[in-house]
Amino acid sequence: MTRHLLRDDDLTPAEQSEILDLALELKRDRWAQKPLAGPQTVAVIFDKSSTRTRVSFAVGIADLGGSPLIISTANSQLGGKETPSDTARVLERQVAAIVWRTYAQSGLEEMAAGTRVPVVNALSDDFHPCQLLADLLTIREHKGELAGLTLTFFGDGKSNMGHSYALAGVTAGMHVRIASPEAYAPREDVVADADRIAASTGGSLTLYTDPNEAAVGADVIATDTWVSMGKEEEKLARLRDLGAYKVTRDIMGLAQDDAVFIHCLPADRGYEVDAEVIDGPQSVVWDEAENRLHAQKALLVWLLRQQ
Ligand code: CP
Ligand code: NVA
């Protein structure tokens, strides 16, 4: 059966763990797996800008023996004249998998419903599951076991990163805290899904409005831009509303002494995080950026094995 990764809870806890194990193996031996040798092509489509996702998929697909086909929707029919499902039917005849960075989650769902090759969400307005695989891999490397760790995310809980931390974190058995103003709390259906998963993994999701309370004792402190792609018109309101949720040295001081700081990047220093934190000794953001490569290679290997 064709498997897709459209949102973080498309993977069971065991599957998530298996992919992270494989990612560590591939990080140790970068060219150990060549499932795309032939070579087969993977389409990687962008409706939005990207540095990390574009580079890590292109390099990762080449590492796996395949050929990446990077498509910008600005000069393709998708997003203009052609629907995701018709695009999917065209692509599946020629490529081994489809990776897509887009706006609406519904477009990804339509793409996946219309094809027999795996579809991977490379960031939508609602979720960023590839980033979370890299983040969990990074946390594992720095902290060992994920289950039982406390991770606090500061900022827009309704964003793709807020939702993905909620779902992927509890899938890994972590205690996820989201610190945001009430209006920026994660969507209710995502909270309900996270609660349901947490009941089986021993993890938890707790929403906070007080940033200091949310930071106390955390093992991992995470944040993301306050102005996600597509939200530029709300910039002024967001800077005002989220100003109290900046990750500062004081916030890091409330977490565990050995807490690590993560950020999916790109970062706005001085807004969601102070430079002394992201460029300081507790920051692991460069490991995290590198781990996009290893995590996504493992994901592709795993998805192609299910075919
Ligand atoms: N973190 C992330 O997805 O970065 P890019 O937007 O550069 O791909
Ligand atoms: N939340 C950010 C993540 C960028 C990788 C955005 O969607 O722009």
Residue 51: give its domain's CATH number. 3.40.50.1370
Same domain, 113 and 229: no
Q: How far is the CA of 131 from the centre of ligand 1 (A)?
A: 8
Mutate to test the pocket of ligand 1, among 48, 99, 123 (most ligand atoms within 8 A of CB): 123
Same domain, 145 and 194: yes
**pLDDT higher than threshold 90 for residue 114:** no
**pLDDT higher than threshold 90 for residue 145:** yes
Q: Is the residue at 7 inside a domain? A: no
Both tokens of residue 70? 């990077």
Same domain, 256 and 137: yes
Query: What is the number of domains present in the chain?
Result: 2
pLDDT single digits (tens) 116-125: 999 999 999 9
Q: Is the residue at 4 inside a domain? A: no
Same domain, 233 and 265: yes
**Segments forming the whole domain that contains residue 120:** 13-128+290-306
Q: How far is the CA of 58 from the centre of ligand 1 (A)?
A: 13
Same domain, 284 and 297: no
Count of CB atoms within 10 A of residue 306's CB? 11
Same domain, 98 and 170: no
Crossing angle between the packed helical segments 285-305 and 52-63, to the nearest 10 degrees:
50
Q: How far is the CA of 128 from the centre of ligand 1 (A)?
A: 9
193 is catalytic: no
Q: How many residues does the chain have?
A: 307
- Closest residue by Cα to residue 272 from 217, 230, 211: 211
- Closest residue by Cα to residue 132 from 164, 159, 102, 158: 164
pLDDT single digits (tens) 216-242: 999 999 999 999 999 999 999 999 999
Give the residue-averaged pLDDT of 258-281. Answer: 98
Both tokens of residue 163? 């939702």
* pTM of the shown model: 0.98
User: What is the pLDDT at residue 69?
Assistant: 98
Same domain, 137 and 253: yes
Over pLDDT 70: what percentage of the chain? 100
Annotated binding site for carbamoyl phosphate: 50-53, 77, 101, 128-131, 264-265, 292
Give the residue-averaged pLDDT of 299-304. Answer: 98
pLDDT single digits (tens) 61-77: 999 999 999 999 988 99
pLDDT single digits (tens) 83-95: 999 999 999 999 9
Give the residue-averaged pLDDT of 265-291. Answer: 98
pLDDT single digits (tens) 169-219: 999 999 999 999 999 999 999 999 999 999 999 999 999 999 999 999 999
Same domain, 67 and 105: yes
User: What is the pLDDT at residue 113?
Assistant: 95
In the sheet that holds 119-121, the strands lie side by side as 67-72, 41-46, 97-101, 119-121
